[in-house]
Amino acid sequence: MQRTKARQATRDRQRGRQSTLAVLFLLMFGGGPALAETQAGLAYMQRGAYFRAFMEFEDPAKAGDAVAQANLGAIYFYGLGLPADFTQSAYWYHAAALQGNIEAQLGLAILYTMGKGVPPSFPIAHMWLAVAENAMPPSPDRARVVEDMKALASKMSPGEIAESKNLLDAWYSRHTAP
C-alpha cells in the first residue's frame, strides 16, 4: 500500500513537471502572445478596423505566422487602412505562401498575373494557382481556381506552360503534396 502511494506521488510529480514543461514550450515556441495578436487582428479585420488589424498582425507576421502574413498581404494589396503597396503585399503573400497558406498563394498568383509588386509572369502565376488548387477541398472556390488556371493557360505559350509545369515539379520536390 505504501509503495503504491509512493509510486502515485512520483507519477503525479512527473505529470506536473510535464505539464509545466508543456506550458513553457508553448509560451516559448507556440507563439502564445503572437497567436493572440493574430486572433485580435482577425477580429479587427471583421470590424473594418484595418489599421488596428495591421498593428496586431505585424509582430506575429515577422515571427513567421502565416495567417498574419497573408492578412498583411491583403491589407497592402487592397490598401486597407493604409495606402496600397503591391511590393509589400508580394513580400507578405510570398512568406505565407511558402508555408502553404492558400489565400496567400492565390494572392501571389494575382500579383504575378498583373505584374504588380513583382515582375509579370504567367508561368509563376499559373504555378501558384496550381499549388493552391491542389491543396483545396472540392468546392465552388476550387472550381473557380480551375477555371482561372484554364483562362490563364489560354494566354500562355507552350513554353510558358512547360515552365509552369517545371516550377510546379520543383515546388513539389521541396514540399509535400496535399
Instruction: Give the pLDDT of the chain (178 residues) as one tens digit per residue.
Output: 555 554 554 444 444 344 333 332 333 334 445 577 889 999 999 999 999 999 999 999 999 999 999 999 999 999 999 999 999 999 999 999 999 999 999 999 999 999 999 999 999 999 999 999 999 999 999 999 999 999 999 999 999 999 999 999 999 999 876 5
Alpha helices in the chain (DSSP H): 2-29, 32-47, 50-62, 66-78, 86-97, 102-114, 122-135, 140-153, 158-174
Could you tell me if 56 and 81 are in contact, meaning their C-beta atoms sit under 8 angstroms apart? no
**Are 103 and 74 contacting, i.e. CB atoms less than 8 angstroms apart?**
yes
Phi, psi (5° rounding) for residue 53? -60, -45
Q: Which residue bears the cell 488548387?
A: 133
For residue 143 the three cell numbers come to: 472550381
CA 80 – CA 57 distance, rounded (Å): 13
Q: What is the reported pTM? A: 0.79
CA dist., res. 163 & res. 174, Å (int) = 17
